[in-house]
């Protein structure tokens, strides 16, 4: 990845993070921490990887995406808005009665392929989509993001067995390993490590990468592409920082199910706008 592309993706991810803060602040509820940790991954998916069209969100050959950890919908909504699936102003109505954007992804929203939120169920749906593509000999790929707390659900491991049994090499699952869940560190609540060995044992092409690094993500997705035809599903173990981009939210478990107040909102937006301005200046400078 050249430096210009990297900076452009970083700037988009910064705007996605602003959208996360905007949405949760106006909702007075939500899950900003885990939304911020996956903002880079979603940015790469929707701006560098997935075959999608905001003007035709239901085109048959589009790539599918399932946010299995559906409580982090603010990040998906902000990404979809940034990509042009709907107006960014919609983010301010998050979780409001009668609004399009509710607390978890709903399939009626442009760009959303699966209603999710009940943990463990999204990955099962993603496996079904990938199998359908195999049966229909369709070209699309299926991508799913899970939480490292979510995989405490037994249904996830049933889905992993399913993916291996049906040789779903068109499926890429991404586990957001930020180390925190609502009750505290995952290592103390229900330790799932060593995840790499477990996913290997379940028959996955397992790739450990920094989920907040676009260079790492690019290499991981290249390895996924190379695995096509192998008969093995792919799993990215995304090592991320919960709350990344907002200083007081980083690695803080409090921001799982808590929205910023007026003062916190102002600080978060100031930090993100400053980071975005720096990136824009660097992009402008490199453009000559």
User: pTM for the whole thing?
Assistant: 0.96
Residues 6+ apart with CB under 8 A from 111: 52, 54, 57, 80, 83, 85, 86
Query: Does the pLDDT at position 75 exceed 80?
Result: yes
Query: Does the pLDDT at position 267 exceed 80?
Result: yes
What was the pLDDT predicted at 288?
A: 67
Residues 6+ apart with CB under 8 A from 207: 220, 223, 224, 234, 235, 236, 237
Residue range 217-228: mean pLDDT, rounded: 97
The percent of residues above 70 in pLDDT, for the chain, comes to: 100
What was the pLDDT predicted at 287?
A: 77
Residue-wise pLDDT for 108-121, tens only, equals 999 999 999 999 99
Residue range 7-25: mean pLDDT, rounded: 98
> Average pLDDT, whole number, for the chain?
96
Residue 113 in tokens: 């392929």
Residue 24 in tokens: 């949760």
Query: DSSP letters of 44-103?
Result: HIIIII----TTSTT-TTPPEEEESSGGGHHHHHHHHHHHTSS-GGGGGGTT-TT-S--S
Residue pointed to by tokens 């792919």: 234
Query: Does the pLDDT at position 286 exceed 90?
Result: no
Query: Does the pLDDT at position 285 exceed 90?
Result: no
Q: Is 236 helix (H, G, I), strand (E, B) or coil?
A: strand
Residue pointed to by tokens 């180390």: 179
């Amino acid at each position: 990845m050249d430096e210009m592309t990297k900076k452009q993706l970083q700037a988009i991810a910064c705007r996605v993070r602003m959208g996360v803060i905007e949405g949760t602040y106006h909702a007075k509820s939500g899950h900003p921490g885990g939304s911020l940790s996956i903002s880079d991954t979603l940015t790469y998916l929707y701006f560098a990887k997935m075959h999608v069209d905001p003007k035709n969100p239901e085109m048959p050959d589009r790539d599918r995406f399932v946010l299995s950890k559906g409580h982090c919908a603010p990040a998906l909504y902000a990404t979809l808005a940034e990509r042009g699936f709907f107006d960014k102003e919609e983010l301010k109505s998050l979780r409001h009665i009668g609004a399009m954007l509710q607390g978890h992804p709903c399939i009626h929203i442009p760009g959303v392929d699966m209603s999710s939120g009940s943990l463990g169920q999204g990955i099962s749906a993603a496996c079904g989509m990938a199998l359908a593509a195999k049966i229909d000999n369709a070209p699309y790929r299926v991508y799913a993001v899970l939480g490292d707390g979510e995989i405490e659900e037994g249904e996830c491991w049933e889905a992993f067995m399913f993916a291996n049994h049906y040789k779903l090499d068109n499926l890429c699952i991404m586990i957001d390993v930020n180390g925190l869940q609502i009750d505290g560190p995952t290592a103390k609540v229900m330790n799932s490590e060593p995840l790499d060995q477990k996913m290997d044992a379940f028959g996955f092409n397992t790739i450990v990468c920094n989920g907040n690094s676009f260079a790492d993500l690019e290499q991981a997705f290249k390895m996924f592409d190379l695995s096509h035809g192998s008969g093995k599903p792919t799993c990215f173990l995304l090592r991320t920082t919960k709350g990344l981009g907002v200083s007081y939210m980083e690695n803080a478990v409090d921001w799982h199910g808590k929205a910023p107040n007026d003062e916190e909102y102002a600080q978060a937006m100031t930090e993100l706008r400053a980071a975005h301005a720096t990136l824009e200046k660097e992009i402008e400078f490199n453009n000559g």
